[in-house]
């Protein structure tokens, strides 16, 4: 596999700075695990413009690869652009092929773009953070144990919420996005992730699903199992733990896919907040199209590609699906972000529910602890 190397390789420009953590060049990891990764994930939703956009950038140093994806859901059409390349010495290059990310100001502003491609999807947006990013560790020996008894794979990072401005163009139709009508969530995680590199590196795991809430209200939010507060909120430093203890969910009778529900969340101060969720149309981003692994250890619907899969050269791929067809929704499902209307008390917003379909239905049907079917 050819890579762009300088005469100083494996050194990079960052090695001129006093920021090393191990006795290796900065871009060399402290693990030889091929599943090591670093990944960015962004979402942008605008109900007025009928836009759900998800973008991701992944880097896999021990596999020598990088990839990126963009998924746009608009007018019942699901469009994906994916790109793959060899990982080069310059780790400041956040992007692959037509997909690019640029840090304008750390923890405050990004620019995300998608240039010309065969799928007719173009993006040029600015992301503005609204909630405070707080570092945390999410796995590893002595921290969390997975459901099958093995130590959870070590992962760390931070998350956030934001507003978006700019425009998205699909097949010549331009959709303007404004700060006043958009909502988004993002994360930046690194460590070791099952599924990276494809079947040759898979660690067997039981078929199951999480149920993630990515929802932002005016002065608080839930990102998974954490409450993030507004930037500058001195009265609530750090982040708080959230425990969703009652999940009563509703499903599409044709597909057994999630379409809404009621979740009760207990916060670290003992407060309980009940949120009602209702899916907006067929506005679901199917993340297997972005190379996330499904519950049956499957990759992209057409080629079975995974994060870190690489075949040489600069590869740009993509496809388009009609989400009005339940047969198609069933075929591409497996790790899915549902755009939802979220109501808590007198406040209403839009956000995402993330789960594996139809596994979440099976958990609610079978009465897994904390999960039940929501009866009409």
**Secondary structure of the chain in HEC code, one letter for each residue:** CCCCCCCCCCCCHHHHCCCCCCCCCCCCCCCCCCCEEEEEEEEEEECCCCEEEEEEEEEECCCCEEEEEEEEEECCEEEEEEEEEECCCCCCCCEECCEEEEEEECCCEEEEEECCCCCCEEEEEEEEECECCCCEECCCCCCCECCCCCECCCEEEEEEEEEEEEEEEECCEEEEECCCCEEEEEEEEEEECCCCCCHHHCCCCCCCCCEEEEEECCCCEEECCEECCECCCCCCCCCEEEEEEEEEEEECCCCCCEEEEEEEEEECCCCEEEEEEEEEEEEEEEHHHHCCCCCCCCCCCCCCCCCCCCCCCCEEEEEEEECCCHHHHHHHCCCEEEEEEEEECCEEEEEEEEECCCHHHHHHHCCCCCEEECCC
Range in 13-22, 81-90, 323-332 the model is least confident about: 13-22
The pTM of this model reads 0.94
pLDDT of residue 148: 61
Alpha-carbon gap, residue 180 to 163, rounded angstroms: 8
Decide which of 106 and 7 is more confident.
Answer: 106
Note the pLDDT of residue 16. Answer: 86
pLDDT of residue 141: 47
Confidence of residue 1 (pLDDT cuts 50, 70, 90): very low
Mean pLDDT (whole number) for 188-204: 91
Position 9 scores a pLDDT of: 79
Between 76-80, 110-114, 315-319, the lowest mean confidence (pLDDT) is in: 315-319
Residue range 299-313: mean pLDDT, rounded: 88
* 3 pLDDT above the threshold of 70: no
* 43 band by pLDDT with thresholds 50, 70 and 90: very high
CA nearest neighbour of 162 among 80, 95, 228, 208: 228
Looking at residues 63-85, what average pLDDT do you find?
Answer: 96
Using alpha carbons, list the distances in angstroms from residue 16 to 20, 94, 103. Answer: 10, 20, 21
Closest alpha carbon to 214 in 337, 92, 332, 123: 337
Which residues does 47 contact at the CB level (< 8 Å), separation at least 6?
181, 280, 339, 350
Q: What pLDDT does residue 139 have? A: 67
What is the per-residue pLDDT across 55-70, written as a single tens digit (0 to 9) for each? 999 999 999 999 999 9
How would you classify the pairing of strands 99-105 and 109-114?
antiparallel
What is the model's pLDDT at position 204? 83
- For residue range 118-164, list pLDDT tens digits in order: 999 999 999 999 999 999 998 654 445 555 666 778 899 999 999 99
- Name the pLDDT band for 342 (thresholds 50, 70, 90): very high
pLDDT at 2 over 70: no
pLDDT classification of 356: cutoffs 50, 70, 90: very high
- Give the confidence band of 182 by pLDDT, cuts at 50, 70, 90: very high
pLDDT above 80 for 196: yes
């Amino acid at each position: 596999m050819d890579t762009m190397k300088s005469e100083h390789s494996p050194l990079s420009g960052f090695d001129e700075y006093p920021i090393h953590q191990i006795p290796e060049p900065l871009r060399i990891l402290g693990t030889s695990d091929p599943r090591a990764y670093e990944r960015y994930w962004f979402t942008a939703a605008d109900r007025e413009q009928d836009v759900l956009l998800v973008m991701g950038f992944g880097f896999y140093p021990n596999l020598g690869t990088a990839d990126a994806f963009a998924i746009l859901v608009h007018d019942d059409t699901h469009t994906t652009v994916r790109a793959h390349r060899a990982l080069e010495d310059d780790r400041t290059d956040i992007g692959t092929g037509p997909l690019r990310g640029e840090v304008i100001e750390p923890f405050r502003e990004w620019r995300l773009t998608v240039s010309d491609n065969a799928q007719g999807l173009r993006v040029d947006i600015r992301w503005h953070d609204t909630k405070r990013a707080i570092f945390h560790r999410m796995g590893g020996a002595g921290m969390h144990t997975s459901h099958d008894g093995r130590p959870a794979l070590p992962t760390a990072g931070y998350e956030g919420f934001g507003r978006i401005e700019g425009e998205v163009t699909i097949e010549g139709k331009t959709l303007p996005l404004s700060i006043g009508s958009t909502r988004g969530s993002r994360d930046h995680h690194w460590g070791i992730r099952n599924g990276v590199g494809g079947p040759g590196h898979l660690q067997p795991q039981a078929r199951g699903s999480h149920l993630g809430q990515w929802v932002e209200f005016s002065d608080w939010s839930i990102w998974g199992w954490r409450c993030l507060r507004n930037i500058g909120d001195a009265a609530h430093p750090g982040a708080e733990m959230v425990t969703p203890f009652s999940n009563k969910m509703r499903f599409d009778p044709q597909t057994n896919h999630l379409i809404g529900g009621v979740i009760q969340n207990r916060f670290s101060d003992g407060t309980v907040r009940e949120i009602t969720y209702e899916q907006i149309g067929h506005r679901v981003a199917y993340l297997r199209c972005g190379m996330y692994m499904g519950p049956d250890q499957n990759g992209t619907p057409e080629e079975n590609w995974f994060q870190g899969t690489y075949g040489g050269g600069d590869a740009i791929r993509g496809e388009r699906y009609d989400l009005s067809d339940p047969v198609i929704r069933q075929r591409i499902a497996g790790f899915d972000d549902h755009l939802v209307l979220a109501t808590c008390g007198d406040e209403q917003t839009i956000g995402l529910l993330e789960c594996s379909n139809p596994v979440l239905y099976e958990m609610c049907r079978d009465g897994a602890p904390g999960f039940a079917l929501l009866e009409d």
